[in-house]
Structure 1
């Protein structure tokens, strides 16, 4: 994968549109139009701030299911992304928390989004949602079935989780790329807003080789 082809830069800054609670989530407020209005405001603000792309995620739906989300969430996110695609011209990505990669791929493929973020593509992670297993086998087959070119940006040893398989960062990066077939990897710290260490960045960059790496 060449980042330049998607983001028009090799060092993209990707802003996040954190959606208000969606239908069927624990804090759903009953108004989809309010969610759309907030998403549009965030997207426009991010574009005005100079980001190269945005990723849309159901951030406020916590507590999350560990795999498939409710169909209403998929429908709502599809509606929102379609509206944002009409409003802004920069690339859009999708993240369906906690790890519903198939729904993310479906939304992205049907709306013309450029990429998805997958929390656990490879390996096994213990999370507050329970044990989450890698989904590479199903996701790569599904992308092929859809005839889609949506890129897969995969977390390595994702935040808010502990590995139940290998905790070796170098090995995890290589597995995610060589066996999970990620188009790019994402390295973050232990929690949202917590950066990875410089040493971890160096290890991951060396292990990734020519595969692009982003900092979450």
Structure 2
């Protein structure tokens, strides 16, 4: 099965904007405040702001759960994310919604797709291994692909290449890593980010991945802004945007629909 979201990415005249719904701390996380309904309310408000601003898709992630679990998250995290994802889906109607379970739980993300119908998932380390603040992150492409098939899902797997907040353990270039993720890990799309949240990616890295894997949808994973959108738009099929769509460009603030609209216009090449 070809994930429908891939056709959506490939059939566009200009890059899509995938807005991030950063969930507040969920049950079990150190910063959880004990009010899950408030977390869900804020998630829906951010999703509606993304839709109002003309965003093309949404990705829901457990951003507030620092420090993150290295791989497998707790059942209460999955349960809370399922509630949040379903609420977001109901709020935004037919807008495509995906999930990212931090730090690297692709299996939980597949479970969310199975339960909610989420159309795509982001995996920070799909192939190989990376050293991060959580320790060693190991890719489980074999498990992820087999579980997706077993569950009969058509969700797209968007795999980071040299993911942010981490250093790849093995040698090789970003082009090598991209080829492995696509052709050996069977990822459906490739994500290239800067060094950290909100940090701009090196255009040369995007160029290298595009040249190495011209058949793959290529997504910018961090750092899009009004100032650099013109530089990136010719290189990518979509941008995953969290920080720049928030009020004042601050990751801890609510989503601002006017900033979403401005970034959508910049990606489309409109003044």
TM over 0.5: yes
- The Cα RMSD (Å) is 1.4
Q: Which residue of 1 aligns with 2:102?
A: 97
Identify the match of residue 202 of structure 2 among 197, 205, 210.
197
User: 2:171, 2:180 → 1: CA distance?
Assistant: 10
User: 1:198, 1:81 → 2: CA distance?
Assistant: 32
Identify the match of residue 26 of structure 2 among 12, 18, 22.
22
Q: What does residue range 116-135 of structure 1 map to in structure 2 within 5 Å?
A: 116-135=121-140
Q: Which residue of 2 aligns with 1:48?
A: 52
Stretch deviating more after TM superposition (14-23 or 4-13): 4-13
TM-score (norm 1): 0.96
TM-score (norm 2): 0.77
Stretch deviating more after TM superposition (44-53 or 164-173): 164-173
Q: Which residue of 2 aligns with 1:178?
A: 183
User: 1:17, 1:9 → 2: CA distance?
Assistant: 23
SS of 1:38 mapped into structure 2? helix
Q: Which residue of 2 aligns with 1:5?
A: 7
Contact 1:15–1:51 (CA under 8 A) maintained in structure 2:
yes
Note if 1:112 corresponds to 2:117.
yes
Which structure has more RCO (C-alpha within 8 Å, separation ≥ 6)? 2
Identify the match of residue 39 of structure 2 among 20, 35, 40.
35
Structure 1's 19 and 209: CA in aligned 2 closer, same or farther, altered over 3 A?
same
User: 2:65, 2:163 → 1: CA distance?
Assistant: 18
Q: Once the 2 structures are TM-superposed, how far is the Cα of residue 198 of structure 1 from its aligned partner? A: 1.5
Structure 1's 68 and 187: CA in aligned 2 closer, same or farther, altered over 3 A?
same
User: 1:212, 1:3 → 2: CA distance?
Assistant: 10
Q: Once the 2 structures are TM-superposed, how far is the Cα of residue 5 of structure 1 from its aligned partner? A: 2.7
Q: Once the 2 structures are TM-superposed, how far is the Cα of residue 116 of structure 1 from its aligned partner? A: 0.2
- Per-residue CA deviations over 1:104-153 (Å, capped at 9, x if unaligned) read 01101210111000000011100000001111011001101101001100
Q: Once the 2 structures are TM-superposed, how far is the Cα of residue 4 of structure 1 from its aligned partner? A: 5.9
In the comparison of the two structures, how many residue pairs are matched? 216
Contact 1:6–1:114 (CA under 8 A) maintained in structure 2:
no
Contact 1:185–1:211 (CA under 8 A) maintained in structure 2:
yes
User: 1:26, 1:200 → 2: CA distance?
Assistant: 35
Residue ranges of structure 2 left out of the alignment (5+ in a row): 222-271
User: 1:75, 1:177 → 2: CA distance?
Assistant: 30
SS of 1:145 mapped into structure 2? helix
User: 1:117, 1:63 → 2: CA distance?
Assistant: 19
Identify the match of residue 158 of structure 1 among 150, 163, 169.
163
Identify the match of residue 75 of structure 2 among 71, 77, 86.
71
